[in-house]
Chains A and B, each alone.
Chain A
């Protein structure tokens, strides 16, 4: 498995609280991504990064922010969690912007009550 660690693996939080999910990689890959997985929707891209401090929005970015201060870490923050953000969140990495495949972490299951 590619060296990708997501933390925490599980989290339960209350509506309105801030939440930060962490993705840490040991592969020195340039590209990092955050996806959410929901039944019937597959995986949808939230945000991605193409270098340190270089990030951009995906198709479902509302309510989320990201930061990448180091190559190895990509943080996803929910500023004020809502029940609609209950989901499984996956981090992925990729070496290049070409045809190299994504390598996924094992996911973080977030429940917002």
Chain B
């Protein structure tokens, strides 16, 4: 079984400030890791993913995340946020084994960018 913990349910930050959204996971097998963003009244959109290789992955809208296997973490970062980044962000993990890939989501972090 796998699980995901997003350590902060709400993160307020001022415009142009840096932000880090934290994600820790648990799994007995190797995993793929994802970050999704959800804008109000919409479905989720993929921000970035880690499958293998370089532990620093870059995504859309200037976001990046770093996979840390020893700490079982996959924190999301952006050096300078904009008002338009206000949304809910979900970390997700998928085990490499099994006949169908099941994505397990964290409970989400609401990022609010303040003017």
Contacts and interface: CB of A to CB of B under 8 A. Distances in A.
Interface in A87-107: 90, 92, 94, 96-99, 101-107
Given A4-B43, A42-B106, 16 more contacts: A40-B9, A42-B6, A42-B90, A43-B90, A44-B105, A50-B100, A58-B102, A94-B101, A97-B99, A97-B100, A99-B101, A102-B44, A103-B46, A104-B45, A106-B43, A107-B41
A107 B43 contact: yes
Contact of B49 (A101, A106, A107): A101
Nearest to A45: B102
Given A42-B90, A90-B43, A106-B43, A99 B51 contact: yes
Interface residues of B, number: 26
Contacts, number: 61
Interface residues of A, number: 28
A44 B46 CA distance: 17
B24 interface: no
A56 B90 CA distance: 24
Interface of A: 4, 31, 33, 35, 40-45, 48, 50, 56, 58, 90, 92, 94, 96-99, 101-107
> What 8 pairs across the A-B complex have the smallest Cβ distances?
A104-B43, A42-B105, A99-B51, A42-B107, A43-B105, A50-B100, A101-B46, A104-B44
Contacts of B14: none
Given A94-B101, A97-B99, A105 B43 contact: yes
Nearest to B32: A99
B99 A50 contact: yes
B51 A102 contact: no
